[in-house]
Amino acid sequence: MQDFELQDELYEHFSFKVDKGQEPLRIDKFLMNRIENASRNKIQLAAKNGSIKVNNISVKQNYRVKPRDEIKVMFSYPPFENLLKPEKIDFQIIYEDRDLLVVNKPPNLVVHPGHGNYSGTLLNGILYHVKDLPENNTGRPGLVHRIDKDTSGLLVVAKSEIAMRNLSEQFFLKQTKRNYIALVWGSFKNKSGSVNNYIGRDKKNRMIMSVSDDQDQGKNAITHYKVLEDLNYVSLLECRLETGRTHQIRAHMKYLGNPIFNDERYGGNKILKGTIFTKYKQFVENCFKLLPRQALHAKSIGFNHPRSNKIMSFESELPNDIQLCLEKWKNYSKNN
């Protein structure tokens, strides 16, 4: 029994039920669109090893998926404890005491190890800085929340058991305050507003989240936004999270028709506003190069200290890539 459990931990499991409207498509191509950071070679190797099953039967990489197929995939990876090795990673510590630390995560840094990112994460770097971190219920020590790889900004980490319990409870009870700055496509009729609906994994593309008004399609998600600057083609927003769902702001902005600027996964990496003529197209492409990620920054975070109950509040400056891109848009909006 023990050997079986250890072996079972060596796999990451993915399961999909194919949509009824799915056109015939090779399963390797189908899975590449649904499993983050999974290369075609890795998918083909899994198929060769019999680790891709359709309706509980192993298939090869050239199998064509059909509507209502039930697909299960297993990828081997190192035992999780081997992923949590301390590594020297560059990140900025805003505040630290015996119970917690607040870090300013740079863009292009994954928060914790997972599929396709087995090392070089923020958590590996934190473990280099702090020897012993308290466990959470997902096996990721110290973490009480997270932000996306290409989102920059503030993250609080628990260093003690009391901090892990108390901060986790504050996040669960929506008692924390988290504000983000986002540069999004287009303008808004109302200068402030809220989005209150449900977010769940997209049925066709598991790497993104879909928004629905049906509570059976996900978890409740609430985002409050305020327009800070309207630059005609793009707008600068402050977004306040009442809940903390995966990709919440990114999915909500797409739902409103204002995807985050250069958010590839949610369609913000296309020219969505403005007439596409040569000079404008070149200008936008230059902005994409200047800011090669979604324009989203976790600017501030607030919570009660887990031991003293003192109100703690922290802010961070916009990173250079967002600042430079924003300045370009301000100048363009002023002169056109």
pLDDT digits (tens, 9 = 90+) for 17-49: 888 888 889 999 888 888 766 777 878 888 888
CB environment 290-323: b (16+ within 10 A), e (fewer): ebebbbbbbbbbbbeebeeeeebebebebbebbe
**Residue 332 pLDDT > 70:** yes
Q: What type of residue sits at position 52?
A: I
pLDDT of residue 56: 87
pLDDT of residue 2: 25
pLDDT confidence of residue 221: 93
Percent of the chain with pLDDT over 90: 59
The whole-number average pLDDT for the span 304-308 is: 97
HSE of 251, CA atoms in CB hemisphere, 13 A: 27
Where is pLDDT greater, at 313 or 4? 313
Predicted confidence at residue 288, as pLDDT, reads: 97
| Average confidence (pLDDT) over 260-266 | 96
Q: Which residues contact 334 (CB under 8 A, 6 or more apart)?
A: none
Domains belonging to the chain, first-starting first, are 2-76 (3.10.290.10), 83-173 (3.30.2350.10), 178-335 (3.30.2350.10)
Handedness of CA 77, 78, 81, 86 (dihedral sign): negative
Residue 8 has pLDDT above 60, yes or no: no
Residue 215 has what DSSP assignment?
G
**Helix, strand, coil % in the chain, rounded to nearest 5:** 25, 30, 45
Per-residue model confidence as pLDDT tens digits over 58-114: 899 999 999 999 998 876 555 455 567 899 998 999 999 999 999 999 998 988 876
Q: Which helix (H) or strand (E) holds 185?
A: strand 177-185
Q: What is the pLDDT of residue 7?
A: 30
Distance (Å, whole) CA 244 – CA 249: 9
pLDDT digits (tens, 9 = 90+) for 111-145: 887 666 667 889 999 999 998 888 776 667 899 99
- The residue from 28, 69, 148, 150 that is catalytic is 148
pLDDT of residue 13: 67
**Can you give the pLDDT at residue 10?**
35
Q: If residue 255 lies in a helix (H) or strand (E), which one and from where to where?
A: helix 248-256
Q: Does residue 148 carry a catalytic annotation?
A: yes
Q: Does residue 267 contact residue 259 with C-beta atoms inside 8 Å?
A: yes
pLDDT of residue 285: 95
Q: Which of 13-17, 34-38, 241-245, 326-330 has the lowest mean pLDDT?
A: 34-38
